[in-house]
Structure 1
Amino acid sequence: MDGLHAAGMPGVYGEVRDTGRVWRGACGVADLDTGRPVTPDMRQRVGSITKTFTAVAVMQQVERGRIRLDEPIGGLLPQLVPGERGSGVTVRMLLNHTSGIGDYLPYAFPSLRGLPAGPGASAASLDDNRFRRFLPAELIETGLAAPPVGEPGGPTGVYSNTNYLLLGRLLEQVTGSTAEEYVTRHVIGPAGLRHTGFPAGPRVEGPHSRMYEALYGLIDPPRDYSVYDMSWVGPAASLVSTMADLNLFYGRLLAGGIVGRSSLEQMQRTVPVRALDGSTIEYGLGLHRVDVPGGGTFWGSDGSVWGAGTMSLTRADGRRQMSLAVNLMRWNTPDSAGRPQPHPVDAALTALYRQAMCGGAGARLRAGGGVQATAVVP
C-alpha cells in the first residue's frame, strides 16, 4: 500500500484474510484538501461488484422456480424486449453478458465517446449527470436501441450494463419489489452485511473517502465525484460497502451459504467476455474467475464508478481473501494515438494485488484475469 500511494494513488485501504487471520490496512489520504487519512473501515462505492449481488438474487428466484436460466426474456419482459430479440436472449445470457445487447453508457454520457483520446471527448457528461435521476426503462431502451454487439449466446460475450438493468426489471416482475429492495432483504441481510446497501441519494452515508476522477487526463487535477446520483447504474453498479463486508459476502457465497451448491456451480461456468477496456475476462453469472499461477483460482469481481475502484477476490478453497479500494480512477494519460500509457500506479497496484492474493509469493497474474479492470467504467 505504501508503494501504491508513493506511485500516485491518493488513498488505498483494504482487508486480507487467510485461514482465520485478518489484516486490515490503509495508506494515504481520503481528502486531498484537508489531508484527512483513509481508514480500513471506510465505505466505498463498489461499482460492478453489485452485479454479483444482483446475480445472487436472480439465482434465488431460479431456486424457487420463478425464473429459468435458459428461459427467453421476451416471455418475462414482453414490453421491454419484444419480438425476435426477446425470443433469442435468455436469462443466462443477460447474466454472463452473451446477450449481444449493447451498453447504454456511451449514450447516457455522450461526451465520453471516443475515450481515452477521441476527438471531442470531455468530462461534460459527468458534470451534467451528477444530480440527474435516470429511469431504468429509459436506460434500457437506450441500450436496446444501440447497435448489437454480438449474436445472442455467442461463444464470447461483451460486457454491458444494460444486461443487469434488465435483470433488475426481471426481479421486480417476479418478486413485486425493486431489485434494490429485494437484494437488501434477501441477499445483504441474510449474508450478515451490516455496512452494505444501496444509496438513498447522491451522498454516501457513513465514513468514506472523496473519489477522484482523472478521466485519462481530461480532468486535471482530478475532480471529486463522491457526491453523485447513482441511478445511472442502479442494480448494475450502485452498491456501497466496506472491504470487510465484501470479504464476508464472497466467503459465504463461495461456501454455499447464500445460494445452493447447484446455483453456485452455474455461477462459476465462465465464458470469455470482452470488458469495456478491450481486455478479455472469464465471466460466469455475476462472478469473475482469476487464475494466479502458483496462487490458485480466485472468484469475485471488481468494479469502478467515477473516482472509486474496488477489487474483491476469494480463493476457491475459501482460505485466502482480499478486498481493496482506491480513490483515484482512470489515471493513465493517452499517447498521440489514443493508447493509455503506463503509469507507476499500474505496476504498484499489480504488486499490491500479488501480495494480497499470494502473501509475497510473487505469482504472476494470468492475462485476462481482470486485475486491471478497475481502471475502466463499470
Structure 2
Amino acid sequence: MATSATLVATIVVVPASATAEPGPSAGGVDRAELRGALAAVPEAGAPGVLAAVRDGRRDWRDAAGQAFLTNHQPMRPQMRHRVGSITKTFVATTVLQLVDEGRLGLDDPIGKWLPDTVPGELGDRVTVRMLLNHTSGIGNYTNAMISSYAAINRMQVTTYAPADLVATGLAMPPTNAPGAKFSYSNTNYVLAGLLIEAATGNDAAIEVRRRILRPLRLTGTSFPGTDPTMRGPHNGAYFAPFGVRDLSEFNMSWAWTAGEMIATTADLNTFFRALLGGDLLSPATLDEMLDRVPVLPELPEAGGYGLGIYSLPTPCGEFWGHDGAVFGHLMFSMHSRDGNRQVSSGLNISHHQFGLPDPHPIDIAWQTFLLTAMCPTSETSSRSAAAAPKLPSVTRMPGNDTAVAAP
C-alpha cells in the first residue's frame, strides 16, 4: 500500500501580524465579486458548488455548475449536502447542553459513563473534554477502516455498530498520552455519541434533533441513520478516482456521530449564528467550547481546536466553524465570532487532489471564493485571486473523515 493521504479543504493561514483587527468588520460584500469567484470553482474543474453567505442582515445564496455529471441538472443553493465532520459541532453542542444541565461534567472520566466500552486505566484517564477537543490520544478508526478503494465499496452498503467503530479505534496504537496534544480522531466523537445515550437514555440523533434541529427549524438538516438515500433536493457525490459514479447513496453508519449528517448551507449558517450568539449554551459553557488547543504546536498561528469547533485566522480577523469531507462531498462552514459574517459552501467532488504535491486548481478557486466571502477586498485590498494561493503557510483543515490509502 502507498502512504495514505488525507483529503480536506485548504485555506490560507496568515501570520498573526497580518490579522491585527479583532474581528471582521461589517463592511459590505460585493455580490458581483462573489458571483464571479463562485463561478470560477466549476471552471477550475469541480462539477458544482453551492454557498450561503451572510453579511450583517444580508443573505446571499447561489450555486454554480452541475448537480450531476450525467443529466446536466444545474446546482441549486438550497440542495442538501453531506456535511461530514460538521456533525461534530452539533454533537459537541448537545454534550455541552448536558453539561449545562449538570448531567455530565467536562472533566468526568469517560469510564464513569462507558465502563464496558472504555474500561480500565484509559477510561479513568480520558475525560469528556479530551474527546471533544481531540486530545484523548485514542486512534482514529477511519484510518484503519478506509484502507483501499475496495473498502469504500464495502462501506457504501454496510451497517456498522458504534461499538464496533470504537473497538477499532481502541485497538490502534495511541497517538499520545491522554491530554498531551491534539490528534484528530473520529473515534472521539463516536464515543461522544455513546456518552449522550448513556446520560439521556435516548438515541444520540434524537437528542440532537430535539435540542437543536427542531428549535432552530433546521428542516434541511438530518441524521439519515442507515438510510443511504438523500431525501429531498440534493446533488451528486463524485469521489474523483471513481469518475462519474455517483456516491450520493451511501450508508453513513460508518461515520455516525462523527460525520453522518446532511444539511443545507443556509441551515449551517443558522446553526452557527445561534451557537456563537449564545442561544444554545450558557456563556460559561460557550467559553469552554471556544477554549482551544493548538492544532499545530509548531505553528500556533494556524489556529486551534475547541470543543467541536475550531478557529482560523484570516486576513480580516478570526473565524470559527468546522469543515467536513466524505466520499464525494466537501463542506466548509466558517463564521465571525459575532456571527455577522458567515460562509458555508460545499463541493460535489472529493479526492480530486489525491496524490498531487500541490493544491489542485479546484482548491485554489474554492479557497479564493471562501476568502472573498469572509474578507471583502474593501477590507483586505492586498488580497486577490492571483495572490491568495501564493500566501505563505497553507495548512490542511482538521476534519479528516476520509483518509484513503491507494491500492
Report the TM-score when normalising by structure 1.
0.89
After superposition, give the CA deviation of every residue in 1:122-150 in whole Å (9 maximum; x if it has no partner): x1111112110000001101101111011
What residue number does 1:300 align with? 321
What residue number does 1:130 align with? 156
Equivalent AA in structure 2 for residue 179 of structure 1: A
> What's the Cα RMSD here?
2.1
Q: Is the 8 A contact 2:85 2:401 kept in 1?
A: no
Asked if 1:257 is matched to 2:279, the reply is yes
Give the Cα–Cα distance (whole angstroms) in 1 for the partners of residues 117 and 400 of structure 2: 31
Shift of 1:368: 7.4
Q: Per the alignment, in what secondary structure is the counterpart of residue 129 of structure 1?
A: helix
What residue number does 1:184 align with? 209
Q: Is the 8 A contact 1:329 1:375 kept in 2?
A: no
After superposition, give the CA deviation of every residue in 1:281-338 in whole Å (9 maximum; x if it has no partner): 5110000101113x1111111101110000111101221111101100111142xxxx
Shift of 1:359: 2.1
Give the Cα–Cα distance (whole angstroms) in 1 for the partners of residues 187 and 288 of structure 2: 21
Equivalent AA in structure 1 for residue 239 of structure 2: E
1:227 maps to which of 232, 249, 259: 249
Q: Per the alignment, in what secondary structure is the counterpart of residue 157 of structure 1?
A: coil
Shift of 1:106: 2.5
1:19 maps to which of 56, 78, 93: 56
Asked if 1:341 is matched to 2:395, the reply is no
Equivalent AA in structure 1 for residue 202 of structure 2: S
After superposition, give the CA deviation of every residue in 1:149-193 in whole Å (9 maximum; x if it has no partner): 111001x21100000000110100010111111101112112221
What residue number does 1:39 align with? 76
Equivalent AA in structure 2 for residue 157 of structure 1: F
Shift of 1:210: 0.4
What residue number does 1:99 align with? 136
Give the Cα–Cα distance (whole angstroms) in 1 for the partners of residues 350 and 397 of structure 2: 11
Asked if 1:325 is matched to 2:342, the reply is no
Q: Which has the higher contact order (CA 8 A, sep 6+)?
A: 2
Equivalent AA in structure 1 for residue 373 of structure 2: A
Q: Is the 8 A contact 1:282 1:369 kept in 2?
A: no
Residues 171, 226 of structure 1: alpha-carbon distance in 2 compared, 3 angstrom cutoff: same
Equivalent AA in structure 1 for residue 173 of structure 2: P
Q: Per the alignment, in what secondary structure is the counterpart of residue 272 of structure 2?
A: helix
Give the Cα–Cα distance (whole angstroms) in 1 for the partners of residues 136 and 398 of structure 2: 21
What residue number does 1:118 align with? none
Q: Per the alignment, in what secondary structure is the counterpart of residue 113 of structure 2?
A: coil
Report the TM-score when normalising by structure 2.
0.83
Q: Is the 8 A contact 1:191 1:258 kept in 2?
A: no
1:352 maps to which of 362, 369, 377: 369
Question: Which shifted more, 95-104 or 183-192?
Answer: 183-192
After superposition, give the CA deviation of every residue in 1:179-235 in whole Å (9 maximum; x if it has no partner): 111101112112221211111400110000000012xxxx25253210000000111
Give the Cα–Cα distance (whole angstroms) in 2 for the partners of residues 307 and 170 of structure 1: 30
Equivalent AA in structure 1 for residue 216 of structure 2: A
Equivalent AA in structure 1 for residue 267 of structure 2: D
Equivalent AA in structure 1 for residue 84 of structure 2: G
1:73 maps to which of 84, 107, 110: 110
Q: Per the alignment, in what secondary structure is the counterpart of residue 291 of structure 1?
A: strand
**In percent, how many aligned pairs have the same letter?**
42
What residue number does 1:287 align with? 309
Aligned residues: 354
Equivalent AA in structure 2 for residue 252 of structure 1: A
Give the Cα–Cα distance (whole angstroms) in 1 for the partners of residues 214 and 284 of structure 2: 22
